[in-house]
A and B are shown apart, each in its own frame.
Chain A
């Protein structure tokens, strides 16, 4: 059984520069017709073929689930990343044919919620664009608090405010505006669910504050945009396949395993879903765990690794692949 989600052939119809850091990409189905519908919060995995290298990066769908002639994503340029966003910004043009996965949702709305309270940081606004479209379409109750570094970097803020009025509040770091988190979380009606998407620090702050104020864990939903980080190259032995591989600087461990012709399970490619969990047979060195799946104990024990985002430094690493 092949891994990941089913694939879609798409054509890039439009590329728009939103601000100094963000570009927006529109896709339509190459063979025409509608794209599969989805639930707000879903992402697609975009395949980027860069010569010999293949990168697969997940991006949230910001387009409305109610209008699926088009899929829209926004990509924030990361100059120190592995190059996925640089590829999208520099190499992708209208008319290009690409492959994306079917939508996958690891950040879905809890439809039982009486109210959806949304906290967005920076590019973390993207899943909320789809979710607010979905909720607005059925008269849902939501409130969005959006924090960005500057007004020019607050992508889509004007669009959101014009569509949803007072349900949207924007906070600008450079004007010292901060989300009044404690006050917000202490004053919500019973049955409110909290959704957070933004930098890791913001997510941690929101989760800790909610926990301290007695929010049940099941009512707090979050999504990290954890992209694989680059790092020093390292060698790995794949015990089951009998292969010795080298993981390059710009390459994730998962990509290196795939490049060696091994086909491990994967799904989100962002360290959160658990599908690529791999057993460590032996190691002599230090693990660089970048995932949000394994527990603290598991990170310390060094018996498992999430190859989509984590790395290793040391003399040897033998994996059960």
Chain B
């Protein structure tokens, strides 16, 4: 059976769209009609069949097109992928994690055969068939982290755990919501979160760090994060702000449904066995408001969340210029009736 991979773009003509099934499986992040930062971390346990949480690493219909976009981003700006010298072992840990997860979850698309340290990896959607010795960097066209993350949706941060803190010492970041790996590389958990408003005073990062440094092998955790993006652009990086920043001024009452996208990050946290570090995958999902309002519950809830969002959070998430226009557009779908608890579309 397998996945029907779409051919679409995340730049220029923006032909990205979700199929109806992918609209329904979208990881809507609001379980109530308002939003505030919280330590919303939970065990990364398997979710319902067909959902984005069914498999520990999710592959969807956008896979092939996202990998094409990622290749372009890296060609334009190689500094999006960096690994400090001591992080190569963590890169091998990540390679093992992603290859085994993809092969187990999607055997029709990915195969991994291992004979001791002689590995054979087949990625059918991308036409890759490679044999290599695990641990031997000379056998692959890139370092292990770059090799496997060029074949995986989303961003990946490899965190070294030292002295009770986490350090962003390697990563590949091409689908980010406006932060820079080149700027943050080498920073610790508090430093790279410095710009986030309100959360520091609430003690959120102290508690989150305590939890994360105690994550053990075999017990990954996850949380959701969200923002709004104008046009289905994956690469909303500070480095390319001149390309996408002006889009924020192009929102009109007529084009909200087509241009404005809810952008949700499914973040997970995994202990890496050989390096004792953590990997932090950040998987990005996009949905246009036209697609989103096909669920009346989501439409009402999103209206209320954006309308009532504290100013500091709205400003930090970049919503200021078009917030009023979006709220007015969503108001058409909000008849004031109550919304059910939980994240689902019903």
* C-alpha gap A152/B204 in the complex (Å): 53
- Residue B107 at the chain A interface, CB threshold 8 Å: no
The residue of chain A having its C-beta at the shortest distance from the C-beta of B87 within the complex is: A111
Q: How would residues 81 to 109 of chain B score, 1 for a CB under 8 Å from any chain A CB and 0 otherwise?
A: 00011110100000000000000000000
The residue of chain A having its C-beta at the shortest distance from the C-beta of B84 within the complex is: A112
The residue of chain A having its C-beta at the shortest distance from the C-beta of B272 within the complex is: A39
User: Which of B218, B275, B276 makes the CB contact (< 8 A) with A102?
Assistant: B218
The residue of chain B having its C-beta at the shortest distance from the C-beta of A8 within the complex is: B218
Chain B residues lying within 8 Å of A217, measured Cβ to Cβ, are 163
Chain A residues lying within 8 Å of B276, measured Cβ to Cβ, are 39, 41-42, 105, 108
* C-alpha gap A41/B161 in the complex (Å): 14
Total count of chain B residues near the partner, CB < 8 A: 20
- Residue A313 at the chain B interface, CB threshold 8 Å: no
* C-alpha gap A294/B180 in the complex (Å): 37
A36 contacts B89, C-beta separation under 8 Å: no
Chain A residues lying within 8 Å of B84, measured Cβ to Cβ, are 112
* C-alpha gap A141/B166 in the complex (Å): 24
A275 contacts B214, C-beta separation under 8 Å: yes
Q: How would residues 148 to 186 of chain B score, 1 for a CB under 8 Å from any chain A CB and 0 otherwise?
A: 000000000000111100000000000000000000000
* C-alpha gap A273/B43 in the complex (Å): 20
A111 contacts B163, C-beta separation under 8 Å: no
Residues A65 and B214 in contact in the complex (CB < 8 Å), given A5-B219, A112-B86: no
User: Which of B85, B86, B275 makes the CB contact (< 8 A) with A39?
Assistant: B275
* C-alpha gap A110/B135 in the complex (Å): 19
The residue of chain B having its C-beta at the shortest distance from the C-beta of A107 within the complex is: B276
- Residue A218 at the chain B interface, CB threshold 8 Å: yes
Q: How would residues 244 to 268 of chain B score, 1 for a CB under 8 Å from any chain A CB and 0 otherwise?
A: 0000000000000000000000000
Residues A36 and B218 in contact in the complex (CB < 8 Å), given A111-B86, A111-B89, A112-B86: yes
B218 contacts A6, C-beta separation under 8 Å: yes
* C-alpha gap A185/B217 in the complex (Å): 34
Chain B residues lying within 8 Å of A134, measured Cβ to Cβ, are 274
B162 contacts A110, C-beta separation under 8 Å: yes
- Residue A37 at the chain B interface, CB threshold 8 Å: yes
Residues A6 and B214 in contact in the complex (CB < 8 Å), given A36-B273, A111-B89: no
* C-alpha gap A6/B44 in the complex (Å): 14
Chain B residues lying within 8 Å of A41, measured Cβ to Cβ, are 276
B160 contacts A111, C-beta separation under 8 Å: yes
A104 contacts B273, C-beta separation under 8 Å: no
Q: Which DSSP category, helix, strand, loop or mixed, fits chain A's interface? A: loop
Residues A5 and B273 in contact in the complex (CB < 8 Å), given A111-B89, A218-B163: no
Chain A residues lying within 8 Å of B86, measured Cβ to Cβ, are 111-112
Chain A residues lying within 8 Å of B89, measured Cβ to Cβ, are 111, 138
Chain A residues lying within 8 Å of B217, measured Cβ to Cβ, are 5-6, 36, 38, 102-104
- Residue A267 at the chain B interface, CB threshold 8 Å: yes
Chain A residues lying within 8 Å of B163, measured Cβ to Cβ, are 217-218
- Residue A80 at the chain B interface, CB threshold 8 Å: no
- Residue B18 at the chain A interface, CB threshold 8 Å: no
Q: How would residues 69 to 87 of chain B score, 1 for a CB under 8 Å from any chain A CB and 0 otherwise?
A: 0000000000000001111
B216 contacts A104, C-beta separation under 8 Å: yes
Of residues 101 through 132 on chain A, the ones whose CB sits less than 8 Å from some CB of chain B are 102-105, 108, 110-112
The residue of chain A having its C-beta at the shortest distance from the C-beta of B219 within the complex is: A6
B216 contacts A5, C-beta separation under 8 Å: yes
Chain B residues lying within 8 Å of A108, measured Cβ to Cβ, are 161, 276
A39 contacts B214, C-beta separation under 8 Å: no
Of residues 246 through 287 on chain A, the ones whose CB sits less than 8 Å from some CB of chain B are 267, 273, 275
Chain B residues lying within 8 Å of A37, measured Cβ to Cβ, are 273-274
- Residue A301 at the chain B interface, CB threshold 8 Å: no
User: Which of A38, A42, A138, A267 makes the CB contact (< 8 A) with B214?
Assistant: A267
- Residue A1 at the chain B interface, CB threshold 8 Å: yes
* C-alpha gap A39/B92 in the complex (Å): 13
The residue of chain B having its C-beta at the shortest distance from the C-beta of A109 within the complex is: B276
The residue of chain A having its C-beta at the shortest distance from the C-beta of B165 within the complex is: A218
B274 contacts A102, C-beta separation under 8 Å: no
* C-alpha gap A102/B135 in the complex (Å): 23
B168 to chain A, nearest CB (A): 14
Residues A39 and B160 in contact in the complex (CB < 8 Å), given A5-B219, A6-B217: no
B43 contacts A1, C-beta separation under 8 Å: yes
A39 contacts B161, C-beta separation under 8 Å: no
Of residues 44 through 62 on chain B, the ones whose CB sits less than 8 Å from some CB of chain A are none
B131 to chain A, nearest CB (A): 20
B216 contacts A39, C-beta separation under 8 Å: no
A277 to chain B, nearest CB (A): 10
A156 to chain B, nearest CB (A): 23
Chain A residues lying within 8 Å of B214, measured Cβ to Cβ, are 267, 273, 275
Q: How would residues 210 to 241 of chain A score, 1 for a CB under 8 Å from any chain B CB and 0 otherwise?
A: 00000001100000000000000000000000
Q: How would residues 1 to 31 of chain A score, 1 for a CB under 8 Å from any chain B CB and 0 otherwise?
A: 1000110000000000000000000000000
The residue of chain A having its C-beta at the shortest distance from the C-beta of B163 within the complex is: A218
The residue of chain B having its C-beta at the shortest distance from the C-beta of A111 within the complex is: B86
A116 to chain B, nearest CB (A): 12
* C-alpha gap A5/B84 in the complex (Å): 30
Q: List 5 A-B contacts (CB under 8 A).
A: A6-B218, A38-B217, A39-B276, A108-B161, A267-B214
Residues of A within 8 A of B (CB): 1, 5-6, 36-39, 41-42, 65, 102-105, 108, 110-112, 134, 138, 217-218, 267, 273, 275
Residues of B within 8 A of A (CB): 43, 84-87, 89, 135, 160-163, 214, 216-219, 273-276
Other A-B contacts than A111-B86, A217-B163, 20 sampled, CB-CB below 8 A, are A1-B43, A5-B216, A5-B218, A5-B219, A6-B217, A6-B218, A36-B217, A37-B273, A39-B276, A102-B216, A103-B273, A108-B161, A108-B276, A110-B162, A111-B87, A111-B160, A112-B84, A112-B160, A267-B214, A267-B216
